[in-house]
């Protein structure tokens, strides 16, 4: 069993529209000029560096944007160019929402349970419905098609439909899910973190919305055929959500037998850690205190939105955003962890500023999928990153992506044609069937 990181490729319409309530970075950079080419190349650089270290890497393609079908459903008529022109003139915020490249954050694509954990011993995926934000709710259909195209062998994979698009079942994917296992064989412990329960009067954030519901997490446990005795349900701290922790992966990351989190990540955190200690062999929590790093600074640096990657020597590599090196408190904390008796043996930082300015760090960009060698061999799409694919993607990005995209540029109908041309070529490169509406 090995963990493969499926990274989302930022799309040609990557822009800063400040669409997500509770995402402080997106709000701060709203309406600034973006650089889609740089965004995609920064993500590719991270993938290449990890692949060079022997970390299995794969890619997920961008979505088609602008989402013309959504604009039609909202009353804009005519051909594609006319729809874009009218939306830009009359409802630029709707055009921005329908142009969002947020599917780049593959941690929100789905919740994944490895075959070792499921009753039928198949890998299960539930694509996220992402109903908390209109621009993200548009992703579910394409994400489902893409996952079913890549994980097509139904003897080994189950790609469910998204949960019902209702507030009671708000689901944000793997950004609120962690899987622990002290060994590479046998079932692990799956931890689901929710922000609210639709049927409970439990404490809720006051300033920002809690996106993930307990009911959604419980439904995924059932449909994935997980053993309830190997599942932990924990509530995200409402105060943390109000501080800008809109997903659990902004304040906690777990892998193997290690949980790296802030002391204010969960409600009744002591009980949560005690339960994990009973369930995960050799459980090794790394809990950062508020004195070491405040929640506000954790949100500003995205320290916990790092990737925690197991090394062959038993230690862990922490893949962090460059902002952690530039913050004295975060840098000092990481230095202490690496030099001390911590499971984190090494830290590498990447410049992902184009993504970070919209609120997405290293962990946001990847979907963790644990696969056996046989399961991996069953994937026929050309999505696993090697030198040839990395070089082809580099050329493709530089040929198709703009290096400047301002808010007003979303009204340019040529951007849709450029995006479709790029995605059509990428589909061939990745050996994917026609997953986009324009290809049908």
Measured distance CA(78)–CA(326) in Å, rounded:
49
Report the 10 Å Cβ neighbour count for 59. 27
Measured distance CA(355)–CA(284) in Å, rounded:
30
- Given a contact cutoff of 8 angstroms between Cβ atoms, the answer to whether 89 and 349 are in contact is no
> How big is the chain, counted in residues?
440
Cis peptide leading into residue 66 (ω within 30°): yes
- Given a contact cutoff of 8 angstroms between Cβ atoms, the answer to whether 96 and 408 are in contact is no
Mention every residue, 6+ apart, whose C-beta is less than 8 A from residue 185: 1, 116
Measured distance CA(141)–CA(266) in Å, rounded:
31
Measured distance CA(69)–CA(259) in Å, rounded:
42
Measured distance CA(121)–CA(155) in Å, rounded:
10
Measured distance CA(317)–CA(172) in Å, rounded:
26
What are the φ and ψ backbone dihedral angles of 312, each rounded to 5 degrees?
A: -70, -20
State the residue for tokens 């794969």.
58
- Given a contact cutoff of 8 angstroms between Cβ atoms, the answer to whether 25 and 428 are in contact is no
Tokens read off for 189: 């412990």
What positions carry a catalytic annotation? Answer: 172, 247, 364
Radius of gyration of the chain (CA): 20
- Given a contact cutoff of 8 angstroms between Cβ atoms, the answer to whether 310 and 256 are in contact is yes
């Amino acid at each position: 069993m090995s963990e493969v990181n499926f990274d989302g490729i930022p799309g040609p319409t990557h822009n800063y529209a400040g669409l997500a309530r509770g995402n402080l970075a997106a709000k701060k950079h709203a309406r600034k000029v973006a650089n889609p080419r740089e965004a995609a190349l920064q993500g590719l650089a991270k993938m290449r560096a990890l692949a060079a270290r022997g970390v299995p890497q794969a890619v997920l393609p961008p979505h088609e944007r602008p989402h013309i079908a959504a604009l039609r459903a909202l009353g804009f008529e005519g051909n594609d160019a006319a729809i874009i022109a009218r939306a830009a003139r009359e409802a630029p915020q709707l055009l921005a929402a329908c142009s969002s490249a947020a599917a780049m954050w593959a941690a929100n694509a789905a919740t994944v349970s490895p075959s070792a954990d499921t009753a039928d011993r198949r890998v299960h995926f539930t694509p996220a419905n992402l109903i908390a934000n209109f621009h993200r709710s548009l992703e579910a259909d394409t994400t489902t098609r893409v996952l079913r195209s890549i994980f097509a062998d139904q003897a080994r994979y189950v790609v469910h439909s998204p949960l019902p698009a209702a507030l009671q079942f708000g689901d944000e994917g793997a950004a609120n899910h962690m899987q622990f296992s002290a060994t590479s064989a046998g079932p692990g412990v799956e931890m689901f973190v929710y922000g609210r329960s639709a049927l409970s009067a439990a404490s809720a954030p006051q300033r920002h919305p809690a996106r993930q519901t307990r009911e959604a997490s419980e439904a995924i446990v059932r449909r994935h055929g997980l053993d309830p005795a190997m599942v932990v349900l924990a509530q995200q701290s409402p105060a943390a959500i109000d501080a800008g922790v809109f997903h659990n992966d902004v304040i906690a990351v777990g892998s193997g037998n290690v949980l790296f989190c802030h002391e204010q990540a969960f409600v009744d955190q002591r009980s949560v850690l005690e339960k994990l200690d009973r369930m995960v062999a050799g459980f090794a929590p790394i809990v950062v205190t508020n004195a070491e790093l405040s929640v506000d600074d954790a949100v500003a640096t995205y320290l916990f939105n790092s990737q925690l990657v197991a090394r062959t020597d038993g230690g862990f590599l922490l893949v962090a955003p460059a902002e952690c090196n530039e913050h004295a408190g975060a840098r000092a904390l990481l230095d202490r962890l690496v030099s001390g008796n911590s499971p984190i043996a090494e830290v590498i930082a990447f410049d992902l500023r184009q993504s970070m300015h919209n609120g997405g760090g290293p962990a946001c960009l990847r979907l963790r999928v644990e696969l056996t060698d046989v399961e991996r061999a069953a994937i026929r799409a050309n999505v696993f990153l090697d030198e040839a694919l990395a070089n082809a993607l580099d050329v493709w990005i530089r040929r198709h992506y703009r290096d400047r995209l301002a808010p007003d540029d979303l009204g340019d109908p040529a951007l849709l044609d450029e995006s479709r041309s790029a995605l059509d070529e990428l589909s061939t490169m990745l050996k994917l069937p026609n997953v986009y509406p324009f290809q049908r």
